[in-house]
Amino acid sequence: MAAGVAGGMLLDGASRFARGERPRLEDLLMTPANVLKLTGQLAHLRGAAMKMGQLISMEAGEFLPPELSAIMARLRADAEPMPRHQIQSVLDRAWGPGWASRFETFSFRPIAAASIGQVHRVLTKDGRDLAVKIQYPGIRRSIDSDVDNVATLLRLSGLVPRHLDIGPLLGEAKRQLHEEADYAREADWLERFAALLGDNPDFLLPDVHRDLSGDTILAMTYIASVPIETLERAPQEERDRAARLLLDLAFRELFDFQLMQTDPNLANFRYQPETRRIVLLDFGATRAFSAPFAEACRALAAAGLADDRSGVHAALTAIGLIDDTVPQRHQDKVMAMFDRAKAPLLQSDIFDFGDTRFLHDLREQGMDFASDRDGWRLPPNDALFLQRKFGGTYLLASRLKARLDVKALLSPYLRPSEMTAGNGATIRFGDDC
């Protein structure tokens, strides 16, 4: 792929220089022909390259250059499934030769194929109807190089400023992806969330079947359900209810559990029309938050709803989004974006997630902020994963055109809290909310 793209860049560059033009490197990279080469190759990749493409496309959305957006949108599609002989080989290593005798039926056609593994529906001899997630071979070995290669693509595209040190972020991405590739760890988190939500009749999680599970295999109860996005055609009350449940779950994960499933991919949420329960899947991206971080987020929400600008500034500082090293113009822009985000909550009891003007305004402010590239800095990792979850939840609620009383949902979680500042002083938040 690199050789083909480089050849295309040389030919296109020579042609432009012959016409008296002086093209930039990123202009030579993102030609239509090179985009086709990149898209065709990346479409067949699995693992971290596909996962990073999904994350970038979901979170960056229309901020991406159109050509790069086309590549990343292609990466949101299903991965190429494993051929039968490869599945057989993976299961021979995991379950031992003769494993097929344990099953009444085993469909080699996956019911889902994603970035790290694919899912098959099976029926065991003892009558268990299961969904078995099988990891693609070699995924763990490829994570570090895949992340580095996608990072190179981002740098060449000009999307990432040259002065920005993304090393810490890449390290965190690699760590997170290695954790997502550990199916034994995911099984533990799945059982943990099942225990935390055991008393909630609105959610349904599959049971883990340990006798068939391991580091690269995860066997779970198969749950009949439909994609959550099918609710787009449901009555307003049904759409509002689903969005309310998922937003409240995100608040509960942050403020009560301090444990969050941070991957809001639509495929991870399904729906049972007959029971009206939301099915929760895929806990590989589960992340634990520290108590101080959760309290800083609680303080930010409380100060925002109380329209307390000094409290907002203190909470943003505690989270690590601004501090004395951030230029004042950037602090002002962060505060302005927060003001725009909270304005609809203060103006009305009902927030209309289907109103695209709100997103448009935030996007314009974000683009203005992003254009000042000299002052870019990476936010704390916890803040990035939190944004990933709430951004995805917002986009799902927007897709459902939900109308919710967000203040009423949030208020029960905003009890008074206190934190210790860097100078040892005690800061109290939320007393007036």
Tell me, what's the pLDDT at 46?
A: 61
Rounded to 5°, angle at Cα 291 from 289 and 296:
95
22 by DSSP, 3-state: which? coil
Q: What is the mean pLDDT of residues 107-118?
A: 86
Q: Is the pLDDT of residue 53 over 70?
A: no
Q: Where are the domains of the chain?
A: 2-79+139-178, 227-433
| Annotated catalytic residue 332 | no
Please report which confidence band the pLDDT of residue 4 belongs to, taking 50, 70 and 90 as the band edges.
low
Residue 177's contacts (CB-CB under 8 Å, 6 or more residues apart) are: 47, 48, 51, 116, 143, 147
Tell me, what's the pLDDT at 60?
A: 45
Catalytic residue among 263, 282, 308, 382: 263
Displacement of CA 266 from its chain's centroid (Å):
10
How many angstroms separate the CA atoms of 369 and 96, rounded? 55
Select, from the ranges 60-74, 104-118, 120-134, 138-152, the one with the highest average predicted confidence (pLDDT).
120-134
Tell me, what's the pLDDT at 93?
A: 93
Distances (CA, A) of 354 to 232, 236, 239, 323, 394: 11, 11, 11, 34, 10
* Closest alpha carbon to 176 in 147, 207, 137: 147
Q: What is the mean pLDDT of residues 376-394?
A: 85
* pTM summary value: 0.79
pLDDT tens by residue, 235-274: 999 999 999 999 999 999 999 999 999 988 888 999 999 9
Percent of the chain having pLDDT more than 70? 73
Helices assigned H by DSSP within 110-166: 139-157
How many angstroms separate the CA atoms of 405 and 238, rounded? 15
Pairing label, strands 277-280, 203-204: parallel
